[in-house]
Amino acid sequence: MTNKDKMHNVELYQAADKELLEEQQKYMEKLYDYNHTRPKETKKREKLLKELFAEIGEGCYIEPPLHANWGGHYVHLGQNVYANFNLTLVDDTHIYIGDDTMIGPNVVIAAGTHPILPELRREGFQYNVSIHIGKNCWLGSGAIILPGVTIGDHTIVGAGSVVTKDLPANVLAAGNPCRVLREISGHDRKYYYKDRKIDDRIWDQLNEENGKRYSKKNGNAGQ
């Protein structure tokens, strides 16, 4: 098994392998180009993102600067994914992010890690575990997602959280380590902030635009 194979099979390997570094540098050069685009160069940014990522759906936007070990080469984005400034992707293996997910500033999604044994770390060994983030999630500012984590659809991760274990769908989770605080519920269909109610006209507008897709009273909270 080559070092390249080991990268994607949760095997120990030496990341400073010459062939790996040469390939990695090509993607980092392209990432440099993306981070040095001007704000008005939206078409150029779209083109570069399609070249950088393994997969990218329509309507995605990543605010520069973006930081990624492999320039996003092993990152798979669904449609309408938005990431704010300073997203860091330790993408030494595959990272999957579902449709309509929002990512706050200074979020870290790290699929790469190192063994505990100091002798192995000294010799440059690491291993990687893929990360899966569902559809319509929201990762708050400064959240850290660690290797091997799966986050279910519609789940919210609070700002500054450190996610060490899987999170189910349709929950609000926060803390270090991150834990589930509560499910997203019917209450959230009525109130968007403390005692602030969601105006019925918003539901009417959404249903007019989306063919009666949404219910203000019933149905799954993440519908």
Say which of 8, 67, 114, 132 is annotated catalytic: 114
Number of residues that this document lists for the chain: 223
Rounded to a whole number of angstroms, the distance between the first and last alpha carbons of the chain is: 44
67 belongs to the catalytic site: no
> Which of 47, 82, 42 lies closest to 66, judged by CA?
82
Q: What are phi and psi of 119, to 5 degrees?
A: -60, -40
Q: Are 132 and 111 a contacting pair, CB within 8 Å?
A: no
Residues with a known catalytic role: 114
